[in-house]
Amino acid sequence: MQSTDNQITDLFIIGGGINGCGIARDAAGRGLSVTLAEMNDLASATSSASTKLFHGGLRYLEYFEIRLVREALIERETLLRAMPHISWPMRFVLPYHKDMRFDSETPTSRLLSTVMPWMRGRRPAWLIRLGLFMYDNLGGRKILPGTTSLNLRSAPEGAPLQDKFETAYEYSDCWIEDSRLVVLNARDAESRGAQIMVRTEVTSAERVSDLWEVSVRDRNSGETRVVRAKMLINAGGPWVGDIIQSKIRVNSREGVRLVRGSHIVTPRLYDHEKCYFFQGEDGRIIFAIPYEQDFTLIGTTDQDHPDPSTKPVCTEAEQDYLCAFASKYFKKSITRDDVVWTYSGVRPLYDDGASSATAATRDYTLKVDAQGGAPVLNVFGGKITTYRRLAESALEKVGEFFPNLPGPWTAGVALPGGDFPVDAVETLKSDLLAAYPFLTQSWAARLIRAYGTEARDVLGDAKQVSDLGEDFGATLTAKEVAWLMDKEYARSAEDVVWRRNKLGLRLSAEQIARIDQWMSERSEHKG
C-alpha cells in the first residue's frame, strides 16, 4: 500500500547527476528542505561519462559562446580551490601544422571564408593565438599559468608526435574526477539537511492544489510512497524530456537534444603528464589525456542519440574514428586492438536547432512552469564546469517562490575532504604514509586523490594491512568498500569500481563478482 509523507519538503529534485546534486547542495545550504531521488546510482549516466575536464571550452569560442566560456573559465579556479583532492591543473598541448585543413562549419570559419576566401578550411596560427589570448584573459586567471609556445623538435612533448608537427601551443585547464564530484555534492547536501534517495524511481507527479504529490518507488524493496513538495525540479539529464511528458505531464515548448559522447582507453601512449588537444579534418577536436597512471584516455565523439532508454555504447565505428583521429598525430598507429576499455555518455543539450550535434550549444537553459499550481523548474543542458553556477541560477528561479531566501554561498566552500590548500597534496600524502607505514606510494596517492583529508577516516585505526579486512585486489579493501557503502551511497560493485574509483581497469571479473557478493552479504547482515 502506498503511504504519504506527513511532512512537506520545499524542493523535490528528480535526478542524481551533477546538476541535481549541485542544486540540492546549494538549496540545503540556504535553509530549504530538499529531497532528491535518483532512479539508479548517483552519477550513473552522463555525469560519470565526461572527458573529466574542468575547462572553459576553447573550441566554443569559434561559436562565439563568449559568455559560456567566460563563466566556465572563472569557475575553473573557484572549483579548484574547493576540491583540490579531486581536481588539479593540467597543461594542454595543441600541435599546429600550417598545412592542416578542416571541414569546419563554425561561425568563425564561415566568417573567415567570406572575408579571406583563401583561408577556407584553415585555422591560421594568428587565429589560434587570438583564441588562446582570449582564453587566458577572459576569466581573470590567478592560479593557472598562461599560454606558451613549444618547439616540438626539442621539447619532450614532441617525442610521441609525428615529425611534421614542429610547433605547439601549451595552455591550462583542469582535471576533475567527475563521478566523485557528484557524490561529494550529495554528501555535502545531506550534511546540510537534504534527503538523498538512490535507486528510487519517480513513477509520477501531479499538482494537488499548491503542492506536488510525487510518487516514488524503492527499486530494491518495491515499496512506494508519496512525497509532497512545494516545488519540483526536473534535473533528469537525458530523461528531462521524458519526465516532462510521462511523469509530470506539463506542456513545454522546450526540447532536449541527446548527443552521445564516446571515449576509448588505451595503454599509456607517452611518458609525460600533459594532455594533447588534437584538431580533426572534420572540424572536430579530441583530447588524449594521461589516465589512471598506466593508461591514456581519448575522446570524445559527437553523435545524435535517439532515445534516453537506449544505453549509450562506444560503437565500433566510433572506436575506429577515435583511433584514426589520434593516429594522424601520434607516431604509433592506434587500432581497436589497443583499446582496453570504452565508455559513452549522453549529453542532454538544449535543442537550439543547430545543424549538427557538434554545433549544438553547451550552455544551460532553465525554464519555470507555474501554470496550474505548484511550480516546476526544468533544467536543460549544461556542462560539468559550470554546474555550480547553474545551481546558483536555479536558486535565483527558486527564490521567486521562496521569499527572503539567502544569497549565493558555495563559491570556494570546500567539498568533503577538500579542506586543504591547492598545493598541499604531496604533504597530505607524506603525512598519510607516516601515519600508515604499510601503504605504498601509489596506494597513498590514490587515497588522497579520492578522499583528501578524509583518507584517515577511511583507514581508521588500522595498524597493518590485515586490519583493513578482505583484500579485493588493486589496493581495494573491505574497510574502504564499507566506507563507500555507509558514506557514499554505493550499493553494488559497479558503483565502487567504475564510479567511486576506476579500479575496474585493474580488477578481474572474478574479483568484481566477489566485491558484489561481499556487499550483498554486508547489506543483508545490517538489514
- The candidate with the shortest Cα–Cα distance to 225, out of 194, 203, 248, 207, is 203
Name the CA dihedral angle for 78, 401, 230, 486, rounded to a multiple of 10 degrees: 10
For residue range 454-505, what is the model confidence (pLDDT) as tens digits? 999 999 999 999 999 999 999 999 999 999 999 999 999 999 999 999 999 9
Encode pLDDT of 227-260 as tens digits. 999 999 999 999 998 999 889 988 776 678 899 9
Phi, psi values for residue 6, rounded to 5°: -75, -35
Q: What local confidence, expressed as pLDDT, does residue 98 receive? A: 74
Per-residue model confidence (pLDDT) at position 360 = 58
pLDDT at residue 100, rounded to an integer: 64
Q: What pLDDT, on a 0 to 100 scale, did the predictor assign at position 397?
A: 97
Whether 84 contacts 422, CB under 8 Å: yes
Name the helix (H) or strand (E) containing 374: none
* pLDDT reported for residue 282: 83
Hey, what's the cell of 280? 580533426
β-pairing, 53-54 vs 3-14, is unpaired
All three cell numbers of 502: 576506476
Using alpha carbons only, give the angle 288, 314, 65 rounded to the nearest 5 degrees.
60
Per-residue model confidence (pLDDT) at position 117: 41
Class of domain 88-175+257-350 as given by CATH? alpha beta
Contacts of 427 (CB under 8 A, 6+ apart): none
Burial class (CB in 10 A: 0-12, 13-18, 19+), 282: middle
Nearest to 54 by CA among 177, 178, 175, 180: 175
Burial category of 261 from C-beta neighbours within 10 Å (exposed 0-12, middle 13-18, buried 19 and up): buried
Domain spans of the chain, in order of start: 3-46+179-255+362-399, 88-175+257-350, 425-526
Q: Quote the pLDDT of residue 110.
A: 52
State the sign of the Cα–Cα–Cα–Cα dihedral 376, 382, 387, 389. Answer: negative
Strand partners, 296: 266, 290
* Residues sharing a CB contact under 8 Å with residue 143, sequence separation 6 or more, in sequence order: 77, 80, 81, 89, 422
Q: Are residues 344 and 312 in contact, defined by beta-carbon separation less than 8 angstroms?
A: yes
pLDDT given for residue 402 in this prediction = 97
Do 259 and 349 touch, CB atoms closer than 8 A?
yes
What was the pLDDT predicted at 115? 42
Closest alpha carbon to 349 in 240, 234, 233? 240
State whether CATH 3.40.50.720 applies to domain 3-46+179-255+362-399: no
pLDDT of residue 412: 87
| Dihedral sign computed on CA atoms, order 31, 36, 41, 46 | negative
Does the bond joining 315 to the residue before it have cis omega, within 30 degrees of 0?
no
- Amino acid in the structure at residue 356: S
Residue 2: its pLDDT value, please? 67
Q: Are 11 and 176 in contact (CB under 8 A)?
A: no
- What does 268-302 look like in DSSP terms, one character per residue? ---SSS-EEEEE-TTS-EEEEEEETTTEEEEE---
Q: What are phi and psi of 277, to 5 degrees?
A: -115, 110
Q: Which residue has 558484489 as its cell numbers?
A: 516
From 345, 349, 343, 344, select the one nearest 258 (Cα to Cα): 349
C-alpha cell at 511: 574479483
CATH architecture designation of domain 425-526: Orthogonal Bundle (1.10)
Q: What are phi and psi of 80, to 5 degrees?
A: -60, -40
Bridge partners, 169 (sequence order) = 94, 149
Residue ranges for the chain with pLDDT beneath 50: 1, 108, 111-121, 355
Cα–Cα dist 430/468, whole Å = 20
